Homo-oligomer: A and B are copies of this chain.
Amino acid sequence: MQTNAQALLLSSSNCHGFSLLEFAKQEICSFLETRNVSELVFVPYAQKNYDDYTKKIKDAFTPWGFSVIGLHTYSDPAAAINSAKAIFVGGGNTFLLLKTLYDNQLVHLIREKVITGNLLYIGSSAGTNVATKSIHTTNDMPIIYPPSFDAISIVPFNINPHYIDKIETDTHKGETRDQRIEEYMEMPHANPVLGLREGCILHVNGDSLVLKGVAGAVLFEVNVSKKVEYPVGADVSFLLNYAKETC
């Protein structure tokens, strides 16, 4: 897969022991500063109250020297994306986010701009899910029906954010996270799934993929029975070679 994409895909905005987005501060600041970007367009579509959500994100970014404008404040969201240099796509509900991106005809536009190196992408949680091949591996409840589970496809595989291998409680009979991901891996259309532990960041820099942040990731591959652990600093660029026939 040929790409000039520049992206930071965060497992979550919150990480135990840190204030909102604080665990990712250094990566976000250097990502934007080395590319001379000081203004972010924030995509609040994963939550219901766009103004409140934008204020929260603005409050986190302002002390770091970046200005934040909510995408919902523009009358023409596509035009706003077209003139933006960087977007931050926040977490919330992945189904609501993807549906709203489709409703505003932004999925293909964002893909084209990011892949050609004309838009920096920062995503967190649901904002990371929609950056991948599909939302088949979100943890969210399907509260609204999107026109497709196919997503922006900045990377040609899937991510499971907030990855955790502990079970909820030892007496509860609901599936564990690993069982849920294994159900997906049995599907004929399954892509590899990178489980980002809370605090992990996938840094996409053209054809280089490196794990950053304060926690690592776990890789599930089709026809590979055991998941593989990757620590912070690991190079996972080989995942870009993955291009499944669409079915």
Contact = CB atoms under 8 A, between A and B. Distances in A.
Interface of A: 12, 14-16, 48, 92-93, 95-96, 135-145, 148-149, 162, 164, 166, 168-169, 171-175, 180-181, 183-184, 186-187, 189-190, 198
A174 B164 contact: yes
Nearest to A166: B169
A148 B138 CA distance: 18
Contacts of A139: 141, 174-175
A226 B169 CA distance: 24
A172 B181 contact: no
A174 B162 contact: yes
Given A162-B174, A183-B93, A145 B144 contact: no
A149 B145 contact: yes
Contacts of A162: 172-174
B183 A143 contact: yes
A183 B49 CA distance: 12
22 contacts: A12-B174, A15-B173, A95-B142, A96-B183, A96-B187, A135-B142, A136-B141, A136-B143, A136-B144, A138-B141, A139-B174, A140-B183, A141-B180, A143-B183, A143-B184, A145-B148, A162-B172, A162-B174, A164-B168, A168-B168, A172-B198, A173-B198
